[in-house]
C-alpha cells in the first residue's frame, strides 16, 4: 500500500512539473511571437504612435533615449519646412530605450511592416553601440531576444553573464513578466470599458513641444528670432543644470564597457544589416554620432576612437552613406547627465540637424 502511494505521489509530482514546464514554455512562445508588446511595450507604443501619422513620415530617427531627448519633432519639422520650402517634411523620432543597432534594426522592421516609406533614416551610432560584447545585451535579453536568437547570441550571453537571465525568460516567463502582463491586462480592461480600440500614443515629457517651435541658431533659446513663434521651452526655461555634477553621473558602466573595446559581434552585424535594409527599401541611411557631454567623450581614448572611426568609416564607404560626428556640438550646460540632453539642448540640436543634415540633401 505504501509503495503504491509513493508511486502515485511521484507520478502526480512528475505530471505537475511537466504541466508547469509546458505552460511556461507555451507562454514564452506566445510572448515571443504573438504578444511581443508585453515584453517590450516601448517599441510597440512607438509603432502605435507611428500608425497615426504613417502616411506623412519621410524622415525617421532611429536610436536610443539619447536620440529621444535630442530630437523634438515639431521643432525639426518647422525648421526643415522653413528652410527647404517643402511643407511635407515630417520627422518621426522612433527612439527606444537602449536603442543600439540591434534594437534599431528591429524597430525599423516593425515600422516597415506598418507601411513606413521614409526618404531617409538618421541612425544613431556610438563606440559602445558597436562593441563586440555590448553591455546593453542585459536589456535585450528581457525585451526582444527570442528562441530563434539563441544560435547568434548564446556566446554573447555567456561572456556578458546574461545566460541565467535569458533562461529565466524562457522557462519562467509568467513570473519574469508578471508585472507587464498585469499592467497590460488592466489597461485592456479599462480600454474595453471606455470603448477605446487603440492604445494611447507615446508621449514623453521631452517629446512634448509646441505646435509651432522657434527657429534660431544661437546657443540659447533666449536668442530666438522675433519673427519665429516661441517654443514651450523658451517660455518655461528649466533651472540651470550644474554640468560639473550632472555630467559625471553614471559613467562607471560606460568605463567598464570600454575596457576591452573592439567593434564587431552582433551589434556591428545589426548595424550593417540595418544599412543594407535601408538601401533595399530606397531609404537614404545617414549615420550620426549624437552629442555627448565632455565627461562621456573623455572615456573614448585613442585606441577606442581609432577603432570606432575605422569601423564606421569602412561602413560608410562600403554602402556610400554619410557619417556625421556631432558628439561635440552641445556644451555641457545642455545635458541633464553624461549623455541625455535637456529640453533646451534638444531644441537646439533639432534645429541644427534640420539645417545642416536634412535640408541640404532635401534640396
Tell me the pairing of strands 284-289 and 120-124.
parallel
Provide mean pLDDT across the span 195-200.
Answer: 53
Distance of alpha carbon 287 from alpha carbon 26, whole angstroms: 40
Distance of alpha carbon 117 from alpha carbon 48, whole angstroms: 16
pLDDT at 314: 97
- Model pLDDT for residues 77-87, shown as the tens digit of each residue: 999 999 999 99
Distance of alpha carbon 330 from alpha carbon 292, whole angstroms: 7
pLDDT at 335: 94
Span between the terminal Cα atoms of the chain, in Å: 89
Q: Which of 43, 61, 64 is nearest to 254 (CA)?
A: 64
- Model pLDDT for residues 239-287, shown as the tens digit of each residue: 455 555 667 777 888 888 888 899 999 999 999 999 999 999 999 999 9
pTM for this structure? Answer: 0.84
Residue 305 predicted with pLDDT over 80: yes
The arrangement of secondary structure in 41-135+201-362, i.e. its CATH architecture, is 3-Layer(aba) Sandwich (3.40)
Taking each continuous run of H as one helix and of E as one strand, the counts in the chain are 19, 5
DSSP helix/strand/coil, 149: helix
C-alpha dist (Å) from residue 322 to 156, 249, 296: 30, 32, 24
Cell of 154: 548564446
Distance of alpha carbon 243 from alpha carbon 257, whole angstroms: 23
Provide mean pLDDT across the span 209-219.
Answer: 38
Distance of alpha carbon 31 from alpha carbon 33, whole angstroms: 6
Length of the chain in residues, anyone? 363
What does the CA dihedral 276, 116, 65, 301 come to, rounded to 10 degrees?
20
Cell of 216: 534660431
Question: Do 296 and 258 touch, CB atoms closer than 8 A?
Answer: no
Amino acid at each position: 500500500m505504501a509503495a503504491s502511494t509513493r508511486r502515485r505521489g511521484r507520478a502526480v509530482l512528475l505530471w505537475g512539473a511537466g504541466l508547469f514546464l509546458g505552460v511556461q514554455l507555451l507562454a514564452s512562445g506566445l510572448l515571443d511571437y504573438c504578444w511581443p508588446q508585453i515584453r517590450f511595450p516601448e517599441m510597440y507604443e512607438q509603432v502605435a504612435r507611428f500608425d497615426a501619422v504613417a502616411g506623412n513620415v519621410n524622415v525617421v530617427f532611429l536610436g536610443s533615449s539619447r536620440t529621444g531627448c535630442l530630437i523634438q519633432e515639431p521643432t525639426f519639422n518647422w525648421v526643415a519646412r522653413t528652410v527647404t520650402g517643402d511643407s511635407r517634411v515630417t520627422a518621426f523620432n522612433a527612439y527606444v530605450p537602449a536603442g543600439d543597432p540591434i534594437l534599431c534594426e528591429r524597430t525599423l522592421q516593425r515600422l516597415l511592416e506598418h507601411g513606413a516609406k521614409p526618404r531617409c533614416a538618421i541612425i544613431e551610432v556610438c563606440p559602445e553601440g558597436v562593441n563586440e560584447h555590448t553591455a546593453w545585451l542585459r536589456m535585450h535579453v528581457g525585451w526582444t531576444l527570442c528562441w530563434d536568437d539563441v544560435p547568434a547570441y548564446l556566446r554573447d550571453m555567456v561572456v556578458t553573464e546574461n545566460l541565467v537571465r535569458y533562461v529565466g525568460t524562457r522557462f519562467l516567463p509568467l513570473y519574469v513578466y508578471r508585472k507587464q502582463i498585469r499592467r497590460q491586462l488592466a489597461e485592456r480592461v479599462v480600454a474595453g470599458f471606455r470603448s477605446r480600440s487603440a492604445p494611447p500614443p507615446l508621449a514623453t515629457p521631452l517629446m512634448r513641444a509646441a505646435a509651432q517651435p522657434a527657429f534660431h541658431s544661437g546657443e540659447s533659446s533666449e536668442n530666438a528670432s522675433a519673427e519665429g513663434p516661441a517654443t514651450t521651452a523658451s517660455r518655461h526655461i528649466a533651472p540651470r543644470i550644474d554640468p560639473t555634477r550632472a555630467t559625471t553621473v553614471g559613467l562607471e558602466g560606460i568605463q567598464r564597457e570600454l575596457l576591452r573595446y573592439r567593434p564587431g559581434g552582433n551589434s556591428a552585424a545589426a548595424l550593417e544589416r540595418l544599412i543594407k535594409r535601408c538601401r533595399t527599401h530606397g531609404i537614404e541611411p545617414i549615420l550620426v554620432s549624437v552629442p555627448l557631454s565632455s565627461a562621456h567623450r573623455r572615456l573614448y581614448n585613442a585606441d577606442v576612437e581609432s577603432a570606432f572611426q575605422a569601423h564606421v568609416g569602412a561602413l560608410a564607404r562600403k554602402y556610400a552613406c554619410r557619417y556625421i560626428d556631432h558628439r561635440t556640438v552641445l556644451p555641457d550646460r545642455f545635458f541633464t547627465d553624461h549623455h541625455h540632453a535637456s529640453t533646451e539642448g534638444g531644441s537646439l540640436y533639432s534645429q541644427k540637424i534640420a539645417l545642416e543634415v536634412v535640408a541640404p540633401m532635401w534640396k
